[in-house]
Structure 1
């Protein structure tokens, strides 16, 4: 998915932007063309969207578990997010006997809500500008390492000054490639419980095939609840905790949407790269992303063959597979879109204009070498980028790729401790071992590691691979089967019994001599290593990229007037907007989809397109209740032209009154280059219609008590 943000009114008046491009800081909403938003249909004041002293929309928006967005939709702390955002927690709470991931789950009352081991939501409290303060601590003569140290020292002071003795989490973030800094104050709540989820066949309908595609028919939602202590403060899980009474929660609209309706999204977009130089785009398209795609597919294929055979194994790998598959398709779409639109060529043209400006006498001393330094860095690191992406996919898909960090470090600390220390650590060590083996299946892990080592050793040809892997590959003609089987036979990390036997007689030497440890340690060292020449080029690149962004803004050659996304709360506004007519969609206008269209995709027994029989029966009788659209059909998903990206998953889609009309969950593949360049013609956000969410909860699942908890606007 995709997104971004507009900034100062000065920039906006000099360079008018389309309303559907950009994500905006809430603290600047009064300056960021609030009048234009009103003309499009906004009926709220800036104070009703963002206020420090009074409750406002921002108080209903939370970051969900660090990587998604969610919203509060009741006075009792009920939160709504995507099914794929709650996926990890739902999978963790599922067993082969009670498979909530497969069958769905709805708590009959609050006592039946389920607590996963680790899940938190983050509320945004306030933000402020600290650019002058931080930049006063740096100067152009510093190396990048020295600059980073000075910045981090000041950041630590700012965070300490504003956390009120640990009550808040404070994060200082860089914008415009280190040219500006803002701090953000948050409050975290860690007692978050599962309230309900539809079956996976609804929440993930269409699977990998429909991912990033339109038309879409996915009920991508799940529901949780935030709990606090009796005083409304964050607290660790306790049976005495009570549902949070939020400062603000979103009313839910049943009115539906139509073409050109105002649509506003608030959320935590993860990362965009719209300031990325041409050389970086070219590197990704030709070197980094193809390796990512191939490595991800290799891992997926070797997970899937075991997942399909055993439901218990499927639950073990469901979350890892889903995450890998999502980015696998995303990166291939990025390759295709960036190539099609010749994005690097367009960027290179802009940089040529900048370079001409930069080498004018008045600018040459500061900016003259910026473009050449940036291009030199990419030229030196293209093959390393390919190498690193093959290796990273090995480490991401193999649980044993990082074992020297995930398991060996705590076990080494245990081995070094005295008898009293070991006794104190024993319970945690046993729990760590049990948790690790609960999530892996050794035959699958062997095949994943074997296939990834072969891919890495044969495809990373332009940059030196890990010496151990190179030697083993040469000695075995690129076949790692015997090697992998052998190290699993010898390693203490290959079974819980061996690891627990280690706890009884620990030895640091036993860890460092372990063959799986040695492989993992070498792979991680290789990933993090760089030559002195590359290290220097990277230092020079960091300074030059910062100057490029500064110079593009100063010269007004750059057309982007907002910093990249970085997981801070943003607002994007636009409208409900169709794509050109598509014969695959039965809807009258290609800005929504219907349940009838979903049923047409139904394939009995298919992992991606199966549906519960109850859905088929209710569709046949048009049993849609009060959630039916005025055209007589059940709307499932709809399109807006909001500008979002990963991290916006689960974000609320709001009408002009601040009422919830949908839930953002994806983007369309035609505009897959959106993290790098915004396409105003094709870029769309795909949303779940809130009426379909309510229908699933009430009519399909029989959990009307949860709908009754919300404030419904008809």
Structure 2
């Protein structure tokens, strides 16, 4: 009996212990999940969720611009996603005079819909298992480099075989740390236009303060439309394009939610690491994430000073700031949650039990050194992890940390070419200059660069920093402001005008002596550098991690396993589920919030908690129309216990009939360790109630014609 208890303990970190845990492949729903889902309230067949030959739910779910999820909600290609997913496009389309980010926007007709420069949605067509085919090309005698080469060659063949002459995008992905492989076929549409967005005071209500928090009162949604050519095929933007007629779109339910109602979410979760060893968790908590948090906060603070003073600067940097802020709070929440729940210690205990199994006579040759190898890797890379996160923070928040490198490669080619070749290079070079330099604000960029260089140079003390940065620090006594001021006086990269002068009088000597070019090249080289020792460590780690996962699955072959998230389409299912009563929430049961609670948070002219005057007036009149709950209140957000992560933002929350009841947009900070370990008691998904979305569109915004496009179920 004692051995059985130890065996269960060893695998508790990787097995789905509840129906609401797991991010599942759609092709396996019938075999692995359908019976569980039916017991919980699903009324659809597995074929209605995922079918290759017939339309199904999968055809209404799209990956939105590579990083979020969205859903088709009308026969004319209407797309619903989060406000924060559309944020970049909305900010791009805004000006100080027509500030759609601040004031909202609703197209009165299709001709008024707005096209951002670059935005696409990706439809999932099909997937298949190619594990046997790919793994037949490798053997245990190969080095990791040889293994990778053989796998990549086979992947290239599979992708070519299935793209139908370029019609589809095909991606072969690794799962279970290289123990399984699947290919995914997609179709991309690039003519995607903004239909509408609520004002930022609704779409981002609560700002950074409420981010990752519950109770929540945020109308986090925006709407777009997919366009195609007259035959329904993907096409570049053209006034002649027509709204896409999708294979399937989601009906929208006005019936609301009750606790314990079935809820499923389909989407593109970005990344989880639930097989991560204890050493990786410890490294993140003590080395990597603190550096990420510190560099992010520094960059935000420097940006904010200038954004608060200038409306154009605020718009130009709004998306970048929001992205940095989101992960700043996420990483701090991860530190707190992983520390509080002693996740590394729990994993270490499970690994100790695995090590006993691995060192039994029949297993030792293959698995005996796995845990020791993993632990050795982390002990030797802890300081590098800290260094790398300070460096990435610098590259992520400072345009001039990376821009001179990328722009300089084009300038180098231009200066090295003859006159004829220069004429061919020039249009692309000019286009890049126009794109990169249109929205840069020099005072902000100087402040961010100087502050981040100092942080990187003075905090990455356990690992050798970039040589040129070290040289600057020594020459300027770590006064990086003085260096940046001087560099901006002389560099050709600071303005479009200086770059224009360089194009007229190109000189490799000038380029290669430019201080910002030297700095940027040094930072990128440091970011990409890998010593022979590090390459060997990485190879040993890759093999050991793959064997860890293989060994754990081999020891318990009858369990149901789900792979870590990696931006491929998944389904997660669970229920509407409350958290313990919270005095901050006026709702009777703590699984939903109301407009009463939203108004209670209102702070006039506050950046995070202001509300439109019209919304306040409509609340006072209880002008909720048909969107109010049967108990009379206006719902805003609700909770489910679905298993999601970043990338699921914008995912549809569906009832048992496949009807849209909400849009997922966040998780709760108490369960921030969820990317590493699922907490069945704390893990929640925060969703916008679809009734609030429809009320904002119809009653508040006066865009009833948009609601009329949808199929509303009462």
- State TM-score, norm by structure 2: 0.97
- Equivalent residue, structure 2, for 1:563: 563
State how far apart, in whole Å, the 2-side matches of 1:227 and 1:421 are: 37
1:259 aligns with 2:251: no
State how far apart, in whole Å, the 2-side matches of 1:576 and 1:83 are: 23
- Equivalent residue, structure 2, for 1:354: 354
- Equivalent residue, structure 1, for 2:4: none
State how far apart, in whole Å, the 2-side matches of 1:593 and 1:40 are: 24
- Equivalent residue, structure 1, for 2:331: 331
- Count of equivalent residues: 703
What do residues 618-667 of structure 1 show as CA deviations (whole Å, max 9, x unaligned)? 10111101101111110000000000000000000000000000000000
What do residues 416-466 of structure 1 show as CA deviations (whole Å, max 9, x unaligned)? 343333323333322321221222110000000110011111111111111
Q: CA deviation at 1:377?
A: 0.6
Contact kept? 2:220, 2:688, Cα under 8 Å? yes
State how far apart, in whole Å, the 1-side matches of 2:315 and 2:66 are: 22
Contact kept? 2:663, 2:687, Cα under 8 Å? yes
- Equivalent residue, structure 2, for 1:5: none
- Equivalent residue, structure 2, for 1:233: 233
- State TM-score, norm by structure 1: 0.97
Q: Secondary structure at the match of 2:266?
A: strand
Contact kept? 2:74, 2:710, Cα under 8 Å? yes
Residue correspondence of structure 1 range 567-578 to structure 2 within 5 A: 567-578=567-578
- Equivalent residue, structure 2, for 1:3: none
Q: Secondary structure at the match of 1:401?
A: helix
Contact kept? 2:433, 2:496, Cα under 8 Å? yes
State how far apart, in whole Å, the 1-side matches of 2:254 and 2:658 are: 13
- Equivalent residue, structure 2, for 1:413: 413
More deviation, 478-487/295-304: 478-487
What do residues 32-87 of structure 1 show as CA deviations (whole Å, max 9, x unaligned)? 13111111110000000000000000000000000000000000000000000001
- Equivalent residue, structure 2, for 1:691: 691
State how far apart, in whole Å, the 2-side matches of 1:137 and 1:643 are: 35
Q: 1:408/1:66 Cα in 2 relative to 1: closer, same or farther (>3 Å)?
A: same
State how far apart, in whole Å, the 2-side matches of 1:226 and 1:534 are: 46
State how far apart, in whole Å, the 2-side matches of 1:421 and 1:107 are: 45
Contact kept? 1:196, 1:222, Cα under 8 Å? yes
- Equivalent residue, structure 1, for 2:6: none
What do residues 78-102 of structure 1 show as CA deviations (whole Å, max 9, x unaligned)? 0000000001100110111111111
- Equivalent residue, structure 1, for 2:112: 112
- Equivalent residue, structure 1, for 2:7: none
More deviation, 393-402/137-146: 137-146
State how far apart, in whole Å, the 2-side matches of 1:452 and 1:517 are: 17
Contact kept? 1:264, 1:572, Cα under 8 Å? yes
Q: Secondary structure at the match of 2:30?
A: coil
- Equivalent residue, structure 2, for 1:436: 436
1:583 aligns with 2:583: yes
Contact kept? 1:403, 1:516, Cα under 8 Å? no
State how far apart, in whole Å, the 2-side matches of 1:681 and 1:509 are: 63
More deviation, 20-29/526-535: 526-535
What do residues 153-210 of structure 1 show as CA deviations (whole Å, max 9, x unaligned)? 0000000000000000000000000000000000000000000000011100000000
State how far apart, in whole Å, the 2-side matches of 1:368 and 1:265 are: 40
More deviation, 509-518/330-339: 509-518
- Equivalent residue, structure 1, for 2:276: 276
Question: Once superposed, which parts of structure 1, at least 4 consecutive aligned residues long, lie more than 6 Å away?
Answer: 557-560
State how far apart, in whole Å, the 2-side matches of 1:488 and 1:605 are: 37
Q: CA deviation at 1:409?
A: 1.9
1:634 aligns with 2:634: yes
Q: Which runs of 5+ in 1 are unaligned?
A: 1-10
Q: 1:16/1:99 Cα in 2 relative to 1: closer, same or farther (>3 Å)?
A: closer
Q: CA deviation at 1:110?
A: 0.4
Residue correspondence of structure 1 range 642-657 to structure 2 within 5 A: 642-657=642-657
- Equivalent residue, structure 2, for 1:554: 554
- Equivalent residue, structure 1, for 2:601: 601
Contact kept? 1:296, 1:325, Cα under 8 Å? yes
Q: CA deviation at 1:412?
A: 2.4
More deviation, 145-154/634-643: 145-154
- Equivalent residue, structure 1, for 2:96: 96
